[in-house]
Amino acid sequence: MEDDPRRRTPRTDAVLADPAVAVAAERLGRERVKAAVAEALQECRAGRLAPEHVAAYVVETLPTIATSMRRVINATGVVVHTNLGRAPLSSAAVDAVTVAAGATDVELDLATGRRGRRGTVALAALAARVPDAGGVHVVNNGAAALALVACALAAGRRIVVARGELVEIGDGFRIPELLESVGATLHEVGATNRVHLADYEAAVDDDTAFVLKVHPSNFRVEGFTSSVPVDAVADLCRARGVPLVVDIGSGLLAPHPRLPDEPDATTVLRDGATLVTASGDKLLGGPQAGLLLGDVELVERLRRHPLARALRVDKLTLAALEATLSGPPAPVAVALDTPPEELLARARRLALAIGPDLAAAVHSDGRVGGGGAPGVTLPSAAVALPTDLAEPLRHAEPPVVGRVADGRLLLDLLAVPADGDDELADVVRRVAGSVAAERTGG
């Protein structure tokens, strides 16, 4: 027993004093590193870890940064993947967030030394992208934008909305419950599948706070259906003196040729909407945010409402939003604009790099995701692999998430940046080699 290496288990303070462990503590915090040390010492006492390897084990098992989230390669073919954080930020937005993480002039006018207007430049960038909007404001997400409108305009009053537009937006949250939670009453018109202008005409009265149109962004109703276009409802609202609020959902600011049926803020405002609400982290390609665009007096009224303070965005969001709006194309825009033939050429190069005995380049169909353009397929290309690589690739570093279809694992390149191909090939080769070694017992 005297030679039992477990008797040489180091003390906690000795491991914490190791230079590499001390550096990790400065980066991640002492308590987190101390917990990792305690875990390693338990492994040592159990005889599964040599005493001289404890410090190295601690450093290897700790994350490189102080977050449990891991960077993932999105090879699903879904551009805006909700489970993967929706829109990835551009490098310009990432740099902007880094600057904003420190002390900034977010509410300080450096010229006068006095308090300045919060988010002025970011809001100006948003206004420049949607010139048809007289006023603009930003809150912390799309649901918050709609809730603010309902609270400010319709508390104790009625909102007229088509029955088929009372959608569930995800994780069990529903538009009607959201609107009613701030004191509004809903007047539903039409049937689930059909609504006519006459339905709106019969419903709008002196107790109507506004008429709401909601884009059913995460589903499609087909067959015996009808809806009323924005311009027709806008004419009615203008004649009756009530606002028309349109929730377009995905945050597309202007028409896009690959998404001809997806509503955009510019077109909807030109069609007569008084106010448009949308999300910032979908087709806009920016951070999570709720956009309010439209009548300048109405937007200012919303900005000054007490609830607006509770829904205020932080400086990191403002920085990322400004960079997204005024900087280079965001990854979402790049993905939508990449020709399918370019994706196929990349897939062929990747298949060769991985090995033709394992991988093959194939045509694929991608999707927008995030509730945008439901039913629309985006021509793409993928690298086809054996399905037994799906799980080990999700556990790789970095994790690679693809999709299994028709008995193959497809690594779709639609949402993978072109400069990430070499890394993707390296990860696949490494994982495939490990799987092959396990099969042969090597």
Whether 251 maps to a domain, the answer reads: yes
Among 170, 213, 145, residue whose Cα is nearest residue 370: 170
Give the CA angle between residues 267, 271, 274 to the nearest 5°.
100
Whether 68 maps to a domain, the answer reads: no
> Which alpha helices (DSSP H) does 209-272 contain, by range?
230-240, 265-270
Q: Given 300, 328, 356, which residue is the final one in a domain?
A: 328
pLDDT tens string 251-269: 999 999 999 989 999 999 9
Q: Domain with 415 in it: what CATH number?
A: 3.90.1150.110
pLDDT tens string 395-431: 999 999 999 999 999 999 999 999 999 999 999 999 9
For residue 252, the enclosing domain spans 90-328
pLDDT tens string 137-185: 999 999 999 999 999 999 999 999 999 888 877 677 888 999 999 999 9
Which pair of tokens denotes residue 94?
């990432």
The reply to whether 217 and 232 lie within a common domain is yes
Whether 256 maps to a domain, the answer reads: yes
What is the share, in percent, of the chain residues with pLDDT greater than 90?
A: 84
Q: What share of the chain is helix, strand, coil (3-state, %, to 5)?
A: 45, 20, 40
Q: Given 328, 354, 386, which residue is the final one in a domain?
A: 328
Q: Rounded CA gap, 169 and 300, in Å?
A: 27
Q: Domain with 283 in it: what CATH number?
A: 3.40.640.10
Which pair of tokens denotes residue 267?
């077109």
pLDDT tens string 86-95: 999 999 999 9
Domain count, the chain: 3
Burial 55-79, CB ≥16 within 10 A → b, else e: bebbbeebeeeeeeeeebbbbbbbb
Among 215, 355, 352, residue whose Cα is nearest residue 271: 215
The reply to whether 388 and 270 lie within a common domain is no
Which pLDDT score is estimated for 218?
63
Which pLDDT score is estimated for 2?
55
The reply to whether 419 and 314 lie within a common domain is no
Whether 298 maps to a domain, the answer reads: yes
Q: Rounded CA gap, 422 and 430, in Å?
A: 12
Contact 165, 213 (CB under 8 A): yes
Contact 370, 399 (CB under 8 A): no
Whether 66 maps to a domain, the answer reads: no
Whether 67 maps to a domain, the answer reads: no
Q: Which amino acid is at 287?
A: P
The reply to whether 191 and 310 lie within a common domain is yes
Q: What is the longest distance spanned by two Cα atoms in the chain?
A: 95
The reply to whether 101 and 200 lie within a common domain is yes
The reply to whether 36 and 161 lie within a common domain is no
* 1, pLDDT greater than 60: no
The reply to whether 258 and 352 lie within a common domain is no
From the CB of residue 408, how many other CB atoms can be counted at a distance below 10 Å? 18
pLDDT band at 442; cut points 50, 70, 90: low
pLDDT band at 6; cut points 50, 70, 90: confident
Q: Which amino acid is at 77?
A: G
The reply to whether 231 and 303 lie within a common domain is yes
* 221, pLDDT greater than 80: no
The reply to whether 224 and 324 lie within a common domain is yes
String of DSSP letters for 64-98: SSS-S----EE-SSBSSBGGGTBSPPPHHHHHHHH
Whether 26 maps to a domain, the answer reads: yes
Q: Rounded CA gap, 55 and 40, in Å?
A: 8
The reply to whether 33 and 146 lie within a common domain is no
The reply to whether 151 and 173 lie within a common domain is yes
Which pLDDT score is estimated for 375?
80
pTM of the complete model beyond 0.75: yes
The reply to whether 11 and 114 lie within a common domain is no
Which pair of tokens denotes residue 146?
């709609």
Q: Given 286, 310, 328, which residue is the final one in a domain?
A: 328
